[in-house]
């Protein structure tokens, strides 16, 4: 495709690349080629396979099937170092400098000029200075410690490191997500200059305005497949957004009649997040937004896991609960997006994980009867169809989907009125997903006694549209006003999330 569009011979070419993780197909025969002197934007929803594809190109992962060529020669890097030697470097979202080393040490890490077996510091300094100079960034001192630099400067150092070892293919993963507008502008200038020097650049981004401003061409991935692409300049944002979301929403999402009751959660001007909203009994309120848009931060602030800078939260009759403990007491439960790191305690048993927030029913005066605790756990295990050998089994031995169900069952055991769910279905199998959607529906339905309220954050638009009654969009750390009385289309949401509606 690249050949037809640019007429140039591709610098690199990936053909029908396939990659699976366990039962999950991350990439299902994806092809991509980019020519020298071209910037190609790779876009798609979270989990579409962008990062996996680029990790394969950069040697961090190996493809199960498919072929790659670099400048016409077969190319199959077994490690990131392998790829760097061949001339392919990836700049990750989380910068990977050695924070305590100086700028020049970082730039020439692993490629230090030697003299009689010891590092030749003067030549090293010279080389580092030259590398930064070529990028038009003489302003970064080569002796500075990397940690002390701004994120933007650190990024420049990373790029300089890639170029110092002769990279010709540069992959940038969400490079502007941590930059301000001015820094982003300077980065674009630099990338254009590198393009003029004949480098092939892949630019992964969620922000469609970046794509239009910078890229020559865009390529859309969706569910691990190529979903279209074309010249960036003539493309309309609406078309790109449509390619990103265009999938049917099946009967995954049941909807029993619900109606909104009294206000359970009242949030006014909460910072960080600029959030003002009300959550009522019997409704599911969704927050859409891309990764890094501040959704998770907002939820964590709401649940008192991070400090409140301004604003007011009222939960039932409780004014501004200040600790997670107070939140649980007031009837609000939280499901973390970070299942392994926070959601479940891996070495703790299923029954402990499930009942940790409310041990009171298992004994009086601080005592806990393990037998009664286990009985209760067995009840939830059966009700949510959790696969485990017995309730004393350590949570780590369970699959991701089952771990997630335990974390969710914790909120049910606690009998929380307000359920705050951050990415409840990320990385779990479709069967568990469907069960979780069904569960959310029964919680807010009229038949529930009493109906609960659910606050749901998700990156997965069909999920939000299928489950929620109202949706607000977060973008660059600020929450917009939810559309009243109707659900936006996936298309509208994607435009709002990516800022495409401002063009």
Partner 1 sequence: MTARTVLDRAGTALGLIGVALVFGLLVGPQFFDPANLDLMARQTAIVCMSAVGMTVVIIAGGIDLSVGSIIALSTVVIALRLRAGAAPLMAAAAGVLAGGLCGVVNGVLVTGLRVVPFIVTLGTMLLVRGAAKGFAEEHRIEAPFTWLNDLLRARRGLSLPWGVWLLILLALLVAGVLRYTRFGRHVFAIGSNPRTARLCGVAMDRTTIVVYAISGAFAGLAGLLEFSKIAVGDPTVGLGSELDVIAAVIIGGGSLNGGRGTIAGTVIGAAIMTVIQVGSSQRGLASWVQQIVTGAIIVVAVALDRIRAGRAAD
Packing angle of the helix pair 400-413, 430-444 (nearest 10 deg): 10
Binding status of residue 316 toward partner 1 by CB under 8 A: no
Kind and range of the H or E element at 195? helix 181-196
d(CA 473, CA 480): 5
- The interface region with partner 1, picked from 5-13, 204-212, 213-221, 350-358 by CB under 8 A, is 350-358
Binding status of residue 367 toward partner 1 by CB under 8 A: yes
Q: 500 phi and psi, to 5 degrees? A: -65, -25
Q: How many residues interact with partner 1 (rule CB under 8 A)?
A: 40
- Total residue count of the chain as it appears in this document: 503
Binding status of residue 324 toward partner 1 by CB under 8 A: yes
Binding status of residue 136 toward partner 1 by CB under 8 A: no
CB of 299 to partner 1, least distance (A): 12
Tally the C-alpha atoms within 13 A of residue 486's C-alpha that lie toward its C-beta. 5
Nearer to partner 1 (CB atom), residue 240 or residue 335:
335
In which region does residue 385 sit, left (phi positive, over 0), alpha (psi from -120 to 50) or beta (all else)? left
**Residues 369, 442, 447, 489: which binds partner 1 (CB under 8 A)?**
369
What are 267's strand-pairing partners?
A: 277, 313
**Residues 151, 269, 363, 431: which binds partner 1 (CB under 8 A)?**
363
What are 277's strand-pairing partners?
A: 267
The sheet carrying 24-35 orders its strands as 24-35, 10-21, 65-70, 73-74
Residues 59/34, Cβ–Cβ less than 8 Å: no
**Residues 252, 291, 359, 445: which binds partner 1 (CB under 8 A)?**
359
Cα radius of gyration (the chain): 25
CB of 301 to partner 1, least distance (A): 14
From the list 497, 122, 464, the residue with the least C-alpha distance to 290 is 497
- The interface region with partner 1, picked from 23-31, 199-207, 219-227, 317-325 by CB under 8 A, is 317-325
Binding status of residue 100 toward partner 1 by CB under 8 A: no
Question: Which parts of 278-297 interact with partner 1 (CB under 8 A)?
Answer: none
d(CA 403, CA 400): 5
Binding status of residue 397 toward partner 1 by CB under 8 A: yes
d(CA 184, CA 494): 22
Binding status of residue 334 toward partner 1 by CB under 8 A: yes
Binding status of residue 380 toward partner 1 by CB under 8 A: no
Binding status of residue 396 toward partner 1 by CB under 8 A: yes
d(CA 200, CA 34): 6
CB of 73 to partner 1, least distance (A): 40
Nearer to partner 1 (CB atom), residue 197 or residue 393:
393
**Residues 148, 249, 310, 345: which binds partner 1 (CB under 8 A)?**
345
Nearer to partner 1 (CB atom), residue 393 or residue 442:
393
d(CA 362, CA 406): 18
d(CA 203, CA 50): 10
CB of 302 to partner 1, least distance (A): 13
How far is C-alpha 226 from the chain's CA centre? Answer: 20
- The interface region with partner 1, picked from 57-65, 66-74, 363-371, 439-447 by CB under 8 A, is 363-371
CB of 374 to partner 1, least distance (A): 11
Binding status of residue 383 toward partner 1 by CB under 8 A: no
From the list 115, 112, 140, 139, the residue with the least C-alpha distance to 127 is 112
CB of 384 to partner 1, least distance (A): 18
Binding status of residue 331 toward partner 1 by CB under 8 A: no
Nearer to partner 1 (CB atom), residue 391 or residue 482:
391
**Residues 183, 352, 435, 496: which binds partner 1 (CB under 8 A)?**
352
d(CA 307, CA 315): 17
- The interface region with partner 1, picked from 138-146, 291-299, 306-314, 348-356 by CB under 8 A, is 348-356
Binding status of residue 323 toward partner 1 by CB under 8 A: yes
Residues 6 or more apart in contact with residue 116 via CB below 8 angstroms: none
**Residues 197, 393, 442, 489: which binds partner 1 (CB under 8 A)?**
393
Which residues bind to partner 1, rule: CB under 8 A?
A: 303, 305, 323-329, 334, 336, 338, 341-348, 352-353, 356-357, 359-360, 363, 366-370, 389-390, 392-394, 396-397, 410
């Amino acid at each position: 495709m690249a050949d037809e569009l640019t007429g140039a011979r591709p610098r690199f070419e990936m053909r029908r690349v396939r990659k699976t993780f366990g039962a999950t197909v991350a990439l299902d025969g994806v092809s991509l080629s980019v020519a020298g002197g071209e910037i190609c934007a790779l876009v798609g929803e979270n989990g579409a396979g962008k990062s996996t594809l680029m990790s394969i190109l950069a040697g961090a992962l190996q493809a199960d099937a498919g072929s790659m060529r670099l400048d016409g020669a077969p190319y199959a890097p077994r490690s990131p170092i392998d790829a760097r030697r061949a001339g392919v470097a990836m700049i990750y979202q989380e910068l990977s400098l050695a924070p305590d080393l100086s700028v020049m040490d970082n730039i020439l890490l692993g490629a230090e000029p030697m003299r009689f077996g010891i590092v030749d510091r003067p030549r090293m300094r010279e080389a580092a200075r030259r590398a930064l100079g070529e990028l038009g960034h003489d302003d970064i001192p080569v002796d500075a410690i990397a940690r002390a630099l701004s994120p933007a400067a650190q990024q420049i150092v990373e790029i300089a490191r890639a170029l110092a070892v002769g990279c010709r293919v540069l992959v940038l993963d969400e490079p502007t997500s941590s930059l301000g507008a001015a820094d982003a502008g300077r980065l674009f200038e630099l990338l254009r200059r590198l393009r003029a020097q004949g480098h092939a650049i892949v630019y992964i981004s969620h922000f469609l305005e970046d794509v239009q401003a910078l890229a020559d061409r865009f390529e859309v991935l969706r569910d691990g497949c190529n979903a279209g692409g074309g010249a960036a300049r003539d493309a309309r944002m609406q078309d790109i957004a449509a390619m990103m979301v265009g999938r049917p929403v099946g009967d995954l999402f049941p909807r029993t009649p619900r109606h909104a009751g009294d206000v359970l959660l009242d949030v006014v001007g909460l910072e960080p997040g600029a959030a003002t909203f009300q959550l009522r009994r019997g409704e599911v309120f969704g927050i859409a937004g891309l990764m890094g848009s501040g959704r998770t931060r907002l939820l964590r602030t709401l649940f008192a896991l991070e400090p409140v800078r301004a604003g007011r939260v009222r939960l039932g009759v409780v004014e501004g609960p200040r600790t997670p403990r107070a939140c649980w007491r007031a009837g609000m439960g939280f499901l973390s997006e970070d299942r392994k790191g926070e959601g479940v305690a891996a070495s703790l048993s299923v029954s402990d994980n499930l009942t940790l927030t409310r041990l009171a029913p298992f004994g009086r005066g601080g005592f806990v009867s393990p037998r009664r605790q286990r009985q209760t756990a067995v009840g939830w295990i059966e009700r949510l169809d959790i696969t485990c050998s017995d309730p004393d089994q350590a949570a780590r031995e369970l699959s991701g989907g089952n771990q997630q169900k335990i974390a969710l069952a914790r909120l049910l055991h606690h009998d929380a009125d307000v359920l705050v769910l951050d990415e409840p279905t990320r990385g779990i199998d479709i069967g568990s997903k469907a069960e979780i959607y069904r569960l959310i529906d029964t919680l807010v339905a009229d038949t529930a006694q009493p109906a609960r309220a659910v606050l749901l954050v998700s990156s997965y638009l069909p999920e939000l549209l299928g489950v929620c009654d109202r949706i607000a969009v977060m973008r660059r750390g600020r929450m917009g006003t939810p559309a009243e009385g109707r659900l936006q289309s996936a298309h509208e949401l994607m435009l709002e999330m990516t800022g495409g509606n401002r063009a």
